[in-house]
């Protein structure tokens, strides 16, 4: 495993935290946009149908409204696909960074509970709760 300085490690960890925050923010924003688009599409269809019935609009107007709704749904599907792709990309980058830092190493995983197995661990005295 290559040696990494503490400052380099701290910089990398700060960058990871920043990327994770950006990813989480993007997920939250995309979810909000997705829900808003769905509500808008449903409301547009309701209004178009109600308006056409009330005003007796032509069939062509209804077709245009249907095309707009279909276009909105396609745009929404593209946004959802982009969110999925970005999430996969961020997860892959996180895995690569973990591999580069050696966090997925077998030795690191074996040492995760070293405090419990320490031989020099002080034993609590009488009346002391652990």
CB-hemisphere CA count at 13 Å for 114?
A: 7
Three-class secondary structure assignment of the chain: CCCCCHHHHHHHHHHHHHHHHHHHHHHHHHHHHHHHHHHHHHHHHHHHHHHHHHHCCCHHHHHHHHHHHHHHHHHHHHHHHHHHHHHHHHHHHHHHHHHHHCCCCHHHHHCCCHHHHCCCCCCCCCCCCC
What pLDDT, on the 0 to 100 scale, is given for residue 106?
A: 74
- Is the pTM for the entire model greater than 0.75? no
Q: How far apart are CA 79 and CA 73, in angstroms?
A: 10
Q: In the predicted model, is pLDDT for residue 23 greater than 80? A: yes
Output the six-digit token pair for 26.
């993007």
**pLDDT tens readout for residues 38-85:** 888 888 888 777 766 666 656 667 778 788 889 988 998 999 999 999
What pLDDT, on the 0 to 100 scale, is given for residue 90?
A: 92
What confidence category does residue 88 fall into, taking pLDDT thresholds of 50, 70 and 90? very high
Q: In the predicted model, is pLDDT for residue 130 greater than 60? A: no
Average of per-residue pLDDT values in the chain: 80
């Amino acid at each position: 495993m290559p040696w990494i300085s503490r400052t380099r490690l701290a910089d990398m960890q700060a960058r990871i935290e920043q990327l994770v925050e950006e990813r989480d923010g993007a997920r939250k924003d995309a979810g909000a946009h997705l829900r808003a688009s769905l509500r808008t599409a449903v409301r547009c269809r309701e209004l178009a149908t109600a308006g056409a019935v009330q005003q007796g609009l032509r069939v062509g107007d209804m077709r245009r409204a249907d095309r707009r709704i279909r276009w909105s749904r396609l745009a929404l599907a593209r946004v959802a696909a982009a969110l999925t792709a970005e999430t996969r990309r961020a997860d892959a980058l996180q895995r690569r960074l973990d591999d580069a830092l050696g966090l997925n190493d077998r030795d690191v995983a074996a040492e995760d509970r070293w405090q419990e197995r320490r031989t020099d661990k002080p034993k609590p005295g009488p009346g002391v709760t652990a």
